[in-house]
Structure 1
Amino acid sequence: MGLLMKIAFLSYFYLGLDNFGASTYVQKYLNVLSRMNNVSIDFYCPYPIQSFKKIKNVHYIYIKTLNIPFIRFFQFAFKISQLLKLRKYDIVHSSSGAGMFVKNVDFETFYHYEPFSIPNFNAWIGYTLSRVSLKRSRHIFAISEQSVTELIQFENRRRELISIITNPIDCMIFNQNHNFSTKKKEILKGKDEKLILSVGLLINRKNPFLLIKTLDYIIKKGINAKLLIIGNGPLKQKMILAANEKKILDNIIFIHSTGEIYPYYCMADLLLTPSKKEGFGFLYLEGPACGCKFVGFPTGISPVAAKKNLGIVVNDEVSFMESAHQILLSGDRTGQEEFNFIYNNFSMEKFGKRLISSYQKYLNIRDGRKF
């Protein structure tokens, strides 16, 4: 048996009451790590975590800061840097850029690299500090070939010092064995209506106005359809105006957020993912795992998913609309073969084994001996 592996897991996300968005994946990562033998995890967060479900082998460390976003950010950064200097960790495992808070610490790994950032001041600061962290790490775990390319191109990292560990989804939740036909009938008033789903922030990077254009195109092609949009953002009101001008507003349902997203994947006849820039793109796996094919652009994991018949990847908006119409017309859905591909390559169970194996490799843990 190997010696105890000590991991510091950093997150700036608020792990709140809902089960939607980034906090969901932070909890799932911790679940995976906690299942490993001989692993001790210290989880650092600048928010109270009373509502966060406790996980074995995880020690929760609440870093108290002033409740002012800008000040909280730097207080947390300073305190984390000091703590990590004092405590000897084998791995600093950071969630989606939280490694920005360890800029003064020479640590072994930075997990997981996402090259883009939301264009606002706080995100710009975070991304800048994140790049400093990358330069101080001896090995990096990236989430896709796209990330590797950008690490080499923009961060001047050598390929042999980068490993790819693709992000996981929870196949126990996202699977096609759930049946929500009754709930679907409550949403769709017409007997022959199709349900189109979109999930994500209503911001420019997500390209949400293409949703309106696509729904209009599909309706004009003679398909009776409803578009269910799960997400919110500054472009919502403009989208409502655009839909109203096209006289299709009655065919759109907005949901701000939801505790459980998988029922909507299971109900949907099509998943639209109009974003042209994604770090990874969980949607390209979650929807198809529930039987729902996607139409999207070549970003994140989508090209890999499309090669395995999980959806269609296009290069322009006209093809996007035509492909959406094609899937709805054919009624095409993913089956057991596609689910097996997702499980064997992206499930939590497979991810956990790859993650701990990679950690052991780069820490040189062999036969109970540490580096």
Structure 2
Amino acid sequence: MKIGITCYPTYGGSGVVATELGIELAARGHQIHFITYSQPFRLTGREANIFFHEVTVTNYPLFEHPPYDLALATRMAEVAEFYSLDLLHVHYAIPHSVSALLAKQMLADRNRTLPIITTLHGTDITLVGLDRSYLPITRFGIIRSDGVTSISEYLCDRTREAFNVTSEIAVIRNFVNCDVYVRKPELVAAMRPRFAQPNERLLVHLSNFRPVKRVLDVIEVFARVSRALPARLMLIGDGPDRSLAEHLALHHGIQDRVHFLGKQDNVNELLPLADLMLMPSEMESFGLAALEAMACSVPAIATRVGGVPELIDDQINGLLFEVGDVDSMADAAVRLLLDQTRLNELATAARKTAQDRFCASRIIPLYEDYYRRVIDRT
């Protein structure tokens, strides 16, 4: 198939999933065309069967805010027509689904068909889409798409409730390449000394550092852990709360034990170095960062929110707590890090969960089947 993919190419879950999906589909022989304003950060530009089409927006003095959504619709239509795309798969409803509908109509006027699939990722439904300024157009984009998928049962239910959607929403959960995200002892032995001494535990957090990720809670938890045992913390990612996190680490006097790594392309090499993942988010529609860690045999301490319980089974492959309960999270982390046998049990179960339920080899065929269903009925 020839598949167009549009996503936000920045450091965030929806962009990561869309990019990894494109990479996996390309590896299976499909021709993938990314249509967005910059190359998705996880693409190297050297992948076979993958093409990137930049969306450029002209700045006129008349426009206080350049109309990216209109430029995107035009570029979608151009690419779809030139390359004879079989379908367009857009990730994150706002504004991508609406731009796709415009592109579809532009092509229909030229007697060309372009099936559209929208994947809902989280804040496009639970935050942005619920804003009164966007709710009607978000609902319009969802119900007019030829196919809709969500990354968790939680998000599917939330979408039906919030937007009164009665049409089909296929739940196709996030995935991870279990051959790429895996703990390799020789690599761990070579890289871990850069971040922790042999007698120190290493914790990790991965996010876009937005308030919903509660990175300040990560610092609070680690401050308590580091008072109980020798430990260090890797923070992977960047965003608006980074400076606040740095200030809080300085306040607790732990700045010399916290590694702010910024955005990293080699997440699959960094995660296996850790003993434990911290994901104290206020909301997660799925919890992709935790899944990537779990595939690397790193269990997560996370919050019992959104779709996270669909991924983490409390006390079996990770630990779940209420939002903001940093004391309980820290106490549990300390007990776990001091009990290697229990930590190994959770790590083994975490890896098995990723392999059995969320490996790309299991999830990508679900997308392929759904693509064919949508194409056949449009």
* Same fold? TM cut 0.5: yes
Q: Distance between the aligned counterparts of 2:58 and 2:184, measured in 1?
A: 46
Once superposed, what is the RMSD of the aligned Cα atoms?
Answer: 3.5
1:274-293 pair list within 5 angstroms: 274-293=280-299
Deviations 1:185-239 (A, max 9, x none): 23224x421111111122211111112221222133x211111111222322322
8 Å Cα contact 1:284-1:301 kept in structure 2: no
From the superposition, tell whether residues 100 and 280 of structure 1 become closer, same or farther in structure 2 (CA, over 3 Å). Answer: farther
Count of matched residue pairs: 352
Equivalent in 362, 365, 370 of residue 350 of structure 1: 362
Partners of 1:120 and 1:161 in 2: CA distance: 22
Match of 1:102 in 2: 100
The correspondence of residues 263-278 of structure 1 with structure 2, limited to 5 A, is 263-278=269-284
Deviation at 1:290, TM superposition (A): 0.9
CA distance 1:126–1:91, change in 2 (3 Å): farther
Match of 1:46 in 2: 37
One-letter amino acid of the structure 1 residue matched with residue 305 of structure 2: T
SS of residue paired to 1:52: coil
Aligned-partner Cα distance in 2 for 1:223–1:259: 30
Note the 1:1-371 alignment, pairs <5 A. Answer: 5-13=1-9, 24-36=16-28, 41-47=32-38, 52-56=45-49, 58=50, 60-66=52-58, 70-71=65-66, 73-80=68-75, 82-83=77-78, 90-97=86-93, 98-104=96-102, 105=104, 108-117=115-124, 130-158=138-166, 161-179=168-186, 180-189=188-197, 191-220=198-227, 222-307=228-313, 309-316=316-323, 317=325, 318-331=327-340, 332-333=343-344, 334=346, 338-364=350-376
Relative distance call for 1:52 and 1:63 in structure 2 (3 A) is same
Displacement, 1:35? 4.6
Instruction: Report the Cα distance in structure 2 between the residues aligned to 1:35 and 1:236, rounded to whole angstroms.
Output: 35
CA distance in 1, matches of 2:12, 2:144: 32
1:273 Cα deviation from its structure 2 partner: 0.6
Shift of 1:145: 0.7
- The answer on whether the counterparts of 1:101 and 1:129 sit within 8 Å (CA) in structure 2 is no
Distance 2:122 2:261 in 1: 29
> What is the CA-CA distance between 1:281 and the residue it aligns to?
1.7
| Contact 2:300–2:318 under 8 Å retained in 1 | yes
The 3 A distance-change label for structure 1 pair 268 and 126 is farther
1:211 to 1:340, Cα distance in 2 relative to 1, 3 A: closer
Whether the 8 Å CA contact 2:36–2:72 is kept in 1: the answer is no
Cα distance, 1:295–1:128 mapped onto 2, change above 3 Å: farther
Identical positions, percent: 16
1:119–1:146 Cα change, 3 Å: closer
Question: Structure 2 stretches of 5 or more lacking a match?
Answer: 106-113
8 Å CA contact retained: 1:305, 1:311: no
CA distance in 1, matches of 2:207, 2:116: 29
Q: After TM superposition, give the deviation of residue 306 of structure 1 in Å.
A: 2.2
Report deviation, 1:286. 0.9
Quick one: structure 1 residues 262 and 131, their matched pair in 2 at CA, closer, same or farther if it must change by over 3 Å?
Answer: same
Distance 1:48 1:305 in 2: 29
Q: Distance in 1 between matches of 2:201 and 2:302?
A: 19
Name the CA distance, whole Å, in 2 between partners of 1:33 and 1:165.
15
Deviations 1:124-155 (A, max 9, x none): 98887544321311431111011111121112
Counterparts of 2:247 and 2:331, CA distance in 1:
24
- Give the TM-score normalised by the residue count of structure 2: 0.79
Letter in 2 for 1:203: R
Would the alpha carbon gap of residues 109 and 240 (structure 1) be closer, same or farther in structure 2, given more than 3 Å must change?
Answer: same
Q: Distance in 2 between matches of 1:48 and 1:177?
A: 29
Q: Could you tell me whether the CA contact under 8 Å between 2:15 and 2:91 is conserved in 1?
A: no
Q: TM-score, normalised by structure 1?
A: 0.81
Question: Could you say what secondary structure the match of 2:58 adopts?
Answer: coil
Of 132-141 and 193-202, the range deviating more from structure 2: 132-141
| Secondary structure, counterpart of 2:301 in structure 1 | strand
Residue 24 of structure 1: how far off its partner (Å): 4.8
Indicate if the aligned counterparts of 1:20 and 1:259 stay in contact, CA closer than 8 A: no
Measured after TM superposition, the shift of residue 314 of structure 1 is 1.1
